[in-house]
Chains A and B, each alone.
Chain A
């Protein structure tokens, strides 16, 4: 009834090609952004900010990055935490060695560094595909773990191997309260979401999708696989590099190579599988699912006043979490984003379905 595009005529190419063609969607997104920027800071507690919202925003950014590669270009990677690590350590070294740099510049440089490393590790994708490529990207994971644990220069000769940079300052604004962190991350995430959204509907995204759907056919119609695959690796790693720098600086504050281990890589992959491959929105859903759910599950027994031990609660958490992942994959193999799209379809017909 309310969600219909009847009467919204497009009279120019510009209007026809905008990011959200339906007026209701545009209003919804603006309201959502306004709510996130203006209302959430008053509603959420510090705990919610630091334990759920901050990791959610950063991992959503990383998941978008991975989704560009896996979901749009069809190249599986289980080494993306390594590119996050490159971003984090690059940012740390820039801050330590060139303290006068603005943090936004540091973020971009860290992203570029990660992109360069990502492209190097993307080279095997030109020859191998599918599961074999996944195993090749695993090399990135182990190699980066090794580099940051062994080469002391990267950790500025810190005797414990754990680095801890100072607080972030932007034009004299010191980002250290939970609300400031949240707003800063939200702004970055929105910028990157818009970039990603536009990338995937532009010529680059189309080249990626053509490569994903059938690489031989894509080559026949004139898409260079080298170009498509390496840009996908590069841009995807750029996103992850920025996310990694934020993960280290904003969320953890001090970290060791273990913070970017294989578990994080797998979690990122789970995020896009559960959220929806080839969907920007899916990255958000997936990140929310993976970040918030275990924390909530862990606290439910206590909230209900159930007298079970900490160990049992923690085992229950893993069991229920695992079961939910399987359940979601059975109910909707295309991810939560597909559920969302189905909901929208139904809403257009509501309240008079055929």
Chain B
């Protein structure tokens, strides 16, 4: 009885303090950024550098520029562990914080993206999924709140096919070839299949689908199949520990790493270093940010790390995923900046930030001004096109660092993609009973 009473009191106290902390947040001149991270669990090796890059950039904007247009950035991390249910809980926890609510969510998980996309329609908060999420969310007339900025998995798969087509001496030479897709058995890994099947039909190559169950430490059976079938190329669609395991298995089966191509989430330092020398020659797509340091990194080291404010270790500044976190934060900040042009320099709501993200133009000149030369591709969005860009290159691991291959800048072929995106988005809209936005009307 006593212990129950005590427990009850403790819960009541907790509930009261929850309510109190909400009230205390009603301050002005602050823009709140929710930060969904995974610093624990099987995907932590990839989640940590991304989160560090993201947070460091927000800190830099505060320390160097005093916020966005004088509005200070506040942020709060929430650990999702890459689990969809915890991600949704984090989303609910953070969406109402700050004077105007959450600015924009970046879940860094396709599963969480699917779940929060549903909620975005009523919560009116944009979701940036730079390089992941739903491929059909490019269509802004139906997915009004999703921004797969810079490219989707369909774009990625399309560019990989273009690359090997070029290597073989033309896309028509792919006829009769065998391509294996080793993928994470989740929405993330399954996304590219639709496009690859379309391309397989067009060019007559054979597509081998080899799923790997979460978290991907057990791939013996998968690589046995590769040894039996001897595909000409292997596309790797993994994340976290699955990537390094796949490369290690490739070494063990003797599959040439030069014939392996990873998506942009399978091409960072934590993916190749565990395989040691064996990873040499492995290729992956790289979009937005390759590894290395540029002007912006110097600023971060000066304004953030030299003051002891850095989120991670100094040596890790400039890793692939760190840089991708950096550009992800940049996209969010630029969206707010753009929205401030229309709505004024004050804390903005998610709906106002959406306007900014929809009217974003980051060209080479502004990339240079931001100090991101070489770490960012131009992005230009509209109400209809929420991706704003779909280019990437190939980089190769030389045993010590990632080298971007010259002459491998590809752009996804919208001739093929557009009808697929449209059909898929329409299907979603009819299942969800959504009404389509009229972009022409909103522009006025």
Q: Which residues of A contact B (CB under 8 A)?
A: 45-48, 50-51, 55, 96, 149, 159-162, 164-167, 176, 252-256, 258-259, 295-296, 298-300, 302-303, 309-311, 313-315, 339-340, 342-343, 346-347
Contact yes or no, B432 A166, CB < 8 A: yes
Contact yes or no, B1 A160, CB < 8 A: no
Contact yes or no, B37 A310, CB < 8 A: yes
Contact yes or no, A314 B39, CB < 8 A: yes
A50 contacts across to B, CB distance below 8 A: 88, 92
Residue of A nearest to B430 (CB): A166
A340 contacts across to B, CB distance below 8 A: 4
Contact yes or no, B39 A254, CB < 8 A: no
Contact yes or no, B115 A310, CB < 8 A: no
A296 contacts across to B, CB distance below 8 A: 11, 14
B431 an interface residue at 8 Å Cβ cutoff?
A: yes
Residue of B nearest to A311 (CB): B39
Q: Give the distance in Å from the alpha carbon of A354 to the alpha carbon of B317 in the complex.
A: 70
User: Of residues B114, B134, B214, B433, which shows the largest number of chain A Cβ atoms within 10 Å of its Cβ?
Assistant: B114
Q: Give the distance in Å from the alpha carbon of A309 to the alpha carbon of B18 in the complex.
A: 19
Q: Give the distance in Å from the alpha carbon of A327 to the alpha carbon of B110 in the complex.
A: 37
B88 contacts across to A, CB distance below 8 A: 50-51, 252
Choose from B4, B51, B117, B185 the contact partner of A254 (Cβ within 8 Å): B117
B190 an interface residue at 8 Å Cβ cutoff?
A: yes
Q: A47-B92, A55-B85 are in contact. Are A309 and B39 (CB under 8 A)?
A: yes
A45 contacts across to B, CB distance below 8 A: 18-19, 22
A299 contacts across to B, CB distance below 8 A: 18, 93
CB-defined A-B contacts under 8 Å, sample of 29:
A45-B19, A46-B92, A47-B93, A47-B96, A50-B92, A51-B92, A149-B185, A160-B188, A161-B186, A161-B187, A164-B431, A166-B431, A166-B432, A252-B85, A254-B114, A254-B118, A255-B115, A256-B111, A256-B187, A258-B84, A303-B18, A309-B39, A310-B39, A311-B48, A339-B3, A339-B4, A340-B4, A343-B1, A343-B4
Q: Give the distance in Å from the alpha carbon of A314 to the alpha carbon of B82 in the complex.
A: 13
B211 an interface residue at 8 Å Cβ cutoff?
A: yes
Residue interface mask B175-206, A partner, CB < 8 A = 1 = 00000000001111011011000000000000
Q: A160-B187, A252-B84, A256-B186 are in contact. Are A165 and B14 (CB under 8 A)?
A: no
Contact yes or no, A165 B431, CB < 8 A: yes
Q: Which of B73-81, B159-167, B355-363, B436-444 contacts A (4 or more CB under 8 A)?
A: B73-81
B415 contacts across to A, CB distance below 8 A: none
Distance in Å from the Cβ of B207 to the closest Cβ of chain A?
14
Distance in Å from the Cβ of B323 to the closest Cβ of chain A?
21
Residue of B nearest to A169 (CB): B433
Contact yes or no, B424 A159, CB < 8 A: yes
A165 contacts across to B, CB distance below 8 A: 431-432
B435 contacts across to A, CB distance below 8 A: none
Choose from B89, B111, B428 the contact partner of A295 (Cβ within 8 Å): B89
B228 an interface residue at 8 Å Cβ cutoff?
A: no
B21 an interface residue at 8 Å Cβ cutoff?
A: yes
Residue interface mask B53-93, A partner, CB < 8 A = 1 = 00000000000000000000000111101001100110011
Residue of B nearest to A298 (CB): B79
Q: Give the distance in Å from the alpha carbon of A343 to the alpha carbon of B51 in the complex.
A: 48
Distance in Å from the Cβ of A119 to the closest Cβ of chain B?
28
Q: Give the distance in Å from the alpha carbon of A340 to the alpha carbon of B428 in the complex.
A: 48
Distance in Å from the Cβ of A275 to the closest Cβ of chain B?
14
Distance in Å from the Cβ of B416 to the closest Cβ of chain A?
14
Distance in Å from the Cβ of A163 to the closest Cβ of chain B?
9
Choose from A46, A160, A253, A302 the contact partner of B134 (Cβ within 8 Å): A160
Residue of A nearest to B41 (CB): A314
Those of B33-50 within 8 Å (CB) of chain A: 37, 39-40, 44, 48
Contact yes or no, B115 A253, CB < 8 A: yes
Interface of B is mostly: helix
Q: Give the distance in Å from the alpha carbon of A289 to the alpha carbon of B18 in the complex.
A: 19
B17 an interface residue at 8 Å Cβ cutoff?
A: yes
Q: Give the distance in Å from the alpha carbon of A254 to the alpha carbon of B118 in the complex.
A: 8
Contact yes or no, B84 A346, CB < 8 A: no
Distance in Å from the Cβ of B93 to the closest Cβ of chain A?
6
B40 contacts across to A, CB distance below 8 A: 311, 314-315
Residue of A nearest to B3 (CB): A339
B401 an interface residue at 8 Å Cβ cutoff?
A: no
Residue of B nearest to A340 (CB): B4
B119 an interface residue at 8 Å Cβ cutoff?
A: yes
Contact yes or no, B122 A176, CB < 8 A: yes
Choose from B117, B119, B193 the contact partner of A159 (Cβ within 8 Å): B193
Q: A259-B85, A295-B89 are in contact. Are A162 and B114 (CB under 8 A)?
A: yes
Q: Give the distance in Å from the alpha carbon of A135 to the alpha carbon of B107 in the complex.
A: 36
Residue of A nearest to B20 (CB): A303
Q: Give the distance in Å from the alpha carbon of A185 to the alpha carbon of B48 in the complex.
A: 37
Q: A253-B119, A295-B89, A313-B79 are in contact. Are A160 and B190 (CB under 8 A)?
A: yes
B77 contacts across to A, CB distance below 8 A: 310
B188 contacts across to A, CB distance below 8 A: 160
The 5 nearest A-B residue pairs measured at CB: A311-B39, A159-B194, A253-B118, A160-B187, A162-B187
A46 contacts across to B, CB distance below 8 A: 92, 96
B194 contacts across to A, CB distance below 8 A: 159
Q: Give the distance in Å from the alpha carbon of A47 to the alpha carbon of B101 in the complex.
A: 13
B118 contacts across to A, CB distance below 8 A: 164, 253-254
Contact yes or no, B84 A166, CB < 8 A: no
Q: A46-B92, A253-B119 are in contact. Are A347 and B39 (CB under 8 A)?
A: no
Q: Give the distance in Å from the alpha carbon of A343 to the alpha carbon of B5 in the complex.
A: 10
Q: Give the distance in Å from the alpha carbon of A164 to the alpha carbon of B187 in the complex.
A: 12
Residue of A nearest to B35 (CB): A310
User: Of residues B185, B188, B194, B211, which shows the largest number of chain A Cβ atoms within 10 Å of its Cβ?
Assistant: B185
Q: Give the distance in Å from the alpha carbon of A160 to the alpha carbon of B115 in the complex.
A: 13
Choose from A48, A167, A252, A314 the contact partner of B115 (Cβ within 8 Å): A252
Contact yes or no, A311 B433, CB < 8 A: no
B432 contacts across to A, CB distance below 8 A: 164-167
Q: Give the distance in Å from the alpha carbon of A96 to the alpha carbon of B17 in the complex.
A: 43
Contact yes or no, B428 A310, CB < 8 A: no
User: Of residues B3, B40, B96, B117, which shows the largest number of chain A Cβ atoms within 10 Å of its Cβ?
Assistant: B40
A162 contacts across to B, CB distance below 8 A: 111, 114, 187, 190
B14 contacts across to A, CB distance below 8 A: 296, 300, 303
Q: Give the distance in Å from the alpha carbon of A166 to the alpha carbon of B430 in the complex.
A: 9
Residue of B nearest to A156 (CB): B431
